[in-house]
Amino acid sequence: MDKIFAKHNNTKELILDAAEALLQDRGFSAFSYHHVAQQLGVKNAAIHYHFPSKADLGTALIRRYRARFRDYTRTLERENADPISKLECYFAIPASYLQNGRKICPLGILEAEFNAIPEPMQLESRLLDKEMRDWLAGVIGEGRSLGVFSFEGSAVGKVLVVAAALQGVLQITRVAGPQVFAATIEQIKRELGIF
């Protein structure tokens, strides 16, 4: 087997790591197994062994994002994080993409390419989107009920505005620089009555 895989215990994770980097840099439609194999220094057959089709790879990648998000939010719940801390942790997710080379949010890419991705990936994308928005709506609703957030309309409606702002600013940041991300976070906080 290829040398890189002989040194690593979890070949699938290496492949998913490479695919994740390509997804966030280029989008799903703009990379192939050849790109993944090239990044890892292996043959395409090594990728196909673990993920017979690109749809299988994409679906596994989204499932991994979902599992990470669930683990992240469960940790916050176990730590009894307050709504402001939870919101800050939510903002830390897109901030981490910027710190890693102005990458785009995986869900944002999947939403932009939604009509072009395979059906199993569409299903997983819908689930990831719903899980993230439902969790954030719970956080924002909890914050309002505790009097730490103040906003008009429903928590679900506010989440749509927050999610759209974060997805959009990640795109704008690629051109305008990281200062626009910080300004957007500040504006979201103002609209939630935190400042």
Q: What integer is the mean pLDDT of 42-57? A: 94
Task: State the Cα–Cα distance between residues 117 and 96, nearest whole angstrom.
Answer: 25
Tens-digit pLDDT profile for residues 69-87: 999 999 999 999 999 999 9
CB 107 within 8 A of CB 129: yes
Buried b (16+ CB within 10 A) or exposed e, 17-43: bbbebbbbbebbeebebebbbebbebe
> What's the pTM?
0.89
3-state secondary structure of 8: coil
pLDDT in tens, 164-181: 999 999 989 988 988 999
- Of the candidates 127, 136, 60, the one whose C-alpha atom is nearest the C-alpha of residue 91 is 136
Range in 5-9, 147-151, 171-175 the model is least confident about: 5-9
- Cα dist from 139 to 11, 59, 81, 172, whole Å: 36, 28, 10, 26
Give the pLDDT mean for 20-40: 93
Banded model confidence at residue 6, pLDDT cuts 50, 70, 90: very low
Provide the token pair at 147.
């009097």
For the 1-52 domain, the top CATH level (class) is mainly alpha
Task: Report the CATH number of the 63-191 domain.
Answer: 1.10.357.10
- The ranges assigned to domains in the chain are 1-52, 63-191
78, two tokens:
């176990």
Mean pLDDT of the chain: 92
Run of H or E including 159: helix 155-176
What's the half-sphere exposure (Cβ side, CA atoms, 13 Å) at 180? Answer: 14
The pair of three-digit structure tokens given for residue 40, joined into one six-digit string: 């890892």
pLDDT tens profile 83-108: 999 999 999 999 998 887 767 889 99
Has residue 4 got a pLDDT over 50? no
DSSP state of 27: -
Integer Cα distance of 105 and 170 in angstroms? 7
CB 155 within 8 A of CB 141: yes
| Helix 11-26 × helix 54-78 angle, to 10° | 90
Q: Which tens digits make up the pLDDT trace of 104-148?
A: 889 999 999 999 999 999 999 999 999 999 999 999 999 999 999
